[in-house]
Amino acid sequence: MRRSRASLVVAAVSVLALIATGAVATQGRGIEMKEVAKLSGGGMTGWMARRAGMPDETETETFVNAAATKKRVDTDYDSTIIDLENELYITLDHDDKTAVVKTFDQLRAEFEEMMEEYGGEGEAGEEEPEMEEEMEAAPEPPKMSFSVEPTGRRLKHRGFNAEEFYQTISFESSEPEGGTMVLFSILYMTDEIDLSTLEQFDRAFAEALGDAAYSAGQAKLSMEAMLEDPEMQDAFADAKEAGDQLGDRVAVYTKTYMVSVPAGKEFDRELAMGEKKKEGGGFGGFMKKAAGAANPMGDPAEEDEEAPVEQQTSFEFESEYRDFEHKNPKDDKFEVPSRYKVEEG
């Protein structure tokens, strides 16, 4: 059975995330940390953002406190508190000074309603007929490939000793003119961070909500379908080998480039990283061609020879851990502030 390209992309990106964070098997300790993420729009993405009067670069800070049974995530505008012991999910709105408190039962009901609305598995674990029809009509999935390459560079980042790796995951279209989408990442991997507390907590939260079986079932169906294809088998073998290279380490810093490569072209890593100047084409080339089409009476003598379309970076994403400490957060981190108005979910 064919699977949609979007489903395969989601599955592959999930594998990429598992590889980047590393596998952790140790007993978790309390954690306090800050994660900083920056998204930069390149090419058409950046151009559209600027045309709309929006910034083409955004930066967010997320503060995480986690213990064995409680977790809190803070942003500039809100906070989320998850309490496994009391089965409570609390959202704090710092502008309105309100706290919305939901029980896990309420979350389970919302989850079930969402799955019914967007289509999920049937009672017997079979897919809905409409979903099967969509999958049958979908184009052949792209050819996926993974690779991890150590650069040999060792460095200290935010106080952590790390080793640099290049990681590439690509989706080559089955269509003749479809081209290839590439997610290229620079990773600083360290063995000085232990995220087992977070991983164990998130796993326990998923199980408490009862969606673990659903997620596992969907993953199993997707995996079985993909592994029917020998090329998919090779891709996941490459992914496993990549994960083995990274081992139990954690990416203390990640920079990812999403790059569209035209059909017939090879991905140019140096060009994506900005270490080599574009010779022509790209989004600028596209706009130049559009301007020429709008003014067909222009002076031919002033027209440049048409430049070949080069690969185009859609966006860049950076993420890093800062202020990481192994310590048990104070209990008041997981309580609703007294000045906040409590609202039932």
Strand ranges of the sheet holding 250-261, from the earlier edge strand across to the other edge: 143-157, 160-172, 180-190, 250-261, 312-326, 31-41, 57-66, 70-74, 78-83, 88-93, 98-103, 341-344
Res 262: pLDDT: 93
Q: Please give the pLDDT value at position 2.
A: 38
> Which residues, given as ranges, of the chain have pLDDT below 50?
1-28, 121-125, 212-217, 220-221, 281-304
pLDDT at site 254: 95
Q: What is the pLDDT of residue 14?
A: 42
Per-residue pLDDT at 168: 93
So what's the pLDDT on residue 239? 67
Least Cα distance to 166 among 250, 267, 255 occurs for 255
pLDDT at residue 151, rounded to an integer: 95
Alpha helices in 210-308 (DSSP H): 212-226, 230-246, 269-272, 282-294
Residue 135, pLDDT score: 53
Our CA angle for 55, 59, 65, nearest 5°, is 155
Give the per-residue pLDDT at 302: 47
Q: For position 303, what pLDDT does the model report?
A: 46
C-alpha–C-alpha distance, residues 51 and 73, integer Å:
33
Q: Which two tokens stand for residue 1?
A: 């059975």
CA-CA-CA-CA torsion sign (295, 296, 301, 304): positive
pLDDT at 176: 81
Alpha carbons 205 and 104: distance in angstroms, whole number: 9
Q: What is the pTM of this model?
A: 0.69
pLDDT of residue 287: 46
